[in-house]
Structure 1
Amino acid sequence: MPLVSLENTITLAISVKDRHASAQWYNEKLGFELVHHIDEAGWSEMLTKTEGVTLGLGEQAEPAPGNTVPVFGVADIASARDALEGAGVRFDGETETIEGMVSTATFYDPDGNAMMLAQDLAGQA
């Protein structure tokens, strides 16, 4: 029996310089929806496209980029990457593929936080 009973939710917390600007970026680039800004706490939350998973934006004068790397599943990594690159999103190197398993591509938000796209290749011919 586990020590704690966990809910079916998770929040991925990252540091950003400007929560309002970051929330707009995540909305425009990835389609995330703002839940709320809690200005007095320096915190914002957004709904991701995955049920039960929210993105928490903690405002810091000097963010600590790379403190977590959320991985977002996509059906077609090439078109997802093309769309983000077309919108000025910076990627780290080429898309990497492990045949029959997964393709991944690392990209960055405006504060240098690393994110990944992943396409599940299992079962594809």
Structure 2
Amino acid sequence: MKIIAMSIFVDDQEKAKIFYTEKLGFDLVHDKDMGGGFKWLTVKEAHSNNPVEIVLEPNESPIAKNYQESLYKAGIPITMFGVENLDNVHRALVEANVTFHTEPKEVENIKLAVIDDTCGNLIQLIEQ
């Protein structure tokens, strides 16, 4: 068994596509109209042979919307992305006008920060 995809609920798929590809640098894999204003929208790591895709799913279900909004209000990141050099990533993301919910800091020899994905989620960045 292996992980092939993980989902992140978003409040706007078009905005999510722009954020995850243009701001974070992920590669667009699927952008297919599914009807009803929804898309099968996935991204994956750029320049990587890691096949795992992130499904940027609309939060149309009241359960998904409540889950997403509750995590955001509590300041809990929806997921974590690893980076090799958090200082460099921080600088690049600030230049790209990405909002940091938590500025980079070190906790027990781990550097971390939390960004806002503009689509209703907090994402933790970590340099181990």
Q: Name the TM-score, length of structure 1 as normaliser.
A: 0.75
Within a 5 Å distance, the mapping from 1:1-125 to structure 2 comes to 6-7=1-2, 9-40=3-34, 42=38, 43-49=40-46, 51-61=50-60, 63=65, 64-65=68-69, 66=71, 69-99=78-108, 101-120=109-128
Report if aligned partners of 1:45, 1:55 keep a CA contact under 8 Å in 2: yes
Q: Please list every run of 5 or more consecutive structure 2 residues that lacks an aligned counterpart in the other structure.
A: none
Report if aligned partners of 1:46, 1:55 keep a CA contact under 8 Å in 2: yes
Aligned sequence identity (%) = 28
Question: 1-side partners of 2:85 and 2:28: how far apart?
Answer: 25
Cα distance, 1:10 vs. partner? 4.0
- Normalized per residue, the structure richer in helix is 2
Question: 2-side partners of 1:75 and 1:106: how far apart?
Answer: 15
| Number of matched pairs | 113
CA RMSD, Structure 1 to Structure 2 (Å): 2.3
- Which residue does 1:3 correspond to in 2? none
SS in 1 for 2:34: helix
Larger radius of gyration: 1
Report if aligned partners of 1:16, 1:58 keep a CA contact under 8 Å in 2: yes
Q: Please list every run of 5 or more consecutive structure 1 residues that lacks an aligned counterpart in the other structure.
A: 1-5, 121-125
Cα distance, 1:18 vs. partner? 2.5
Q: Name the TM-score, length of structure 2 as normaliser.
A: 0.73
Cα distance, 1:98 vs. partner? 2.4
SS in 1 for 2:23: helix
